[in-house]
Amino acid sequence: MLQFASSDSSTESEIAKTESKSRRNHLNDEMRRRAVGMLQAGARQCAVARDLNVHRRAIHRLWNYYQRDQNSSRSGSGRLRITTTADDLYLLQCTRRRRTPTARKLASQLSAAAGRPISRQTVSRRLHEGGLFARRPVVCVPLSPSHIRALYL
């Protein structure tokens, strides 16, 4: 009987070891979204890690990354974006409020708000991604009264 009890406790310790070894270090997109949602709701990092069966350090890295960039998805290869998601939303909001500023004017506004230089081309690209287009400045020659009359005749 004693021998059985000791083997049972060793079995439990082996199960605990295999459970800790089977914890994940990497999270897929769905798990990242779930983890960020739980953390935003006020759950502790260790509780989230336990619920999702991942290492506490993976949740810690995800939360730090999310707080810094407001984005839970992993970045791919390629050039880093100079504007954050919040910058892009601010730019779209400013453009929807006032349709008249040019991309250069919007770039100077966004640079002042963000505290770092953002080019006119970047602003045009971000507006295009959002389904908007920057107004192009056009030089118009004012018409004389005789030309205006000629248009309506």
Work out the pLDDT band at 87, boundaries 50, 70, 90: very high
Work out the pLDDT band at 13, boundaries 50, 70, 90: low
Nearest CA among 136, 138, 137, 89 for reference residue 114 = 89
How many angstroms separate the Cα of 115 from the Cα of each of 82, 97, 102?
12, 22, 20
Comparing 10 with 4, the larger pLDDT belongs to: 10
3-class secondary structure, 28: coil
Alpha-carbon gap, residue 10 to 14, rounded angstroms: 6
Confidence at residue 119, expressed as pLDDT on a 0 to 100 scale: 94
Summary count for the chain: helices (H), strands (E): 8, 0
What are the pLDDT digits (tens) for 27-50? 888 888 899 999 999 999 999 999
pTM surpassing 0.75?
A: no
Confidence at residue 93, expressed as pLDDT on a 0 to 100 scale: 92
CATH class of 27-69: mainly alpha
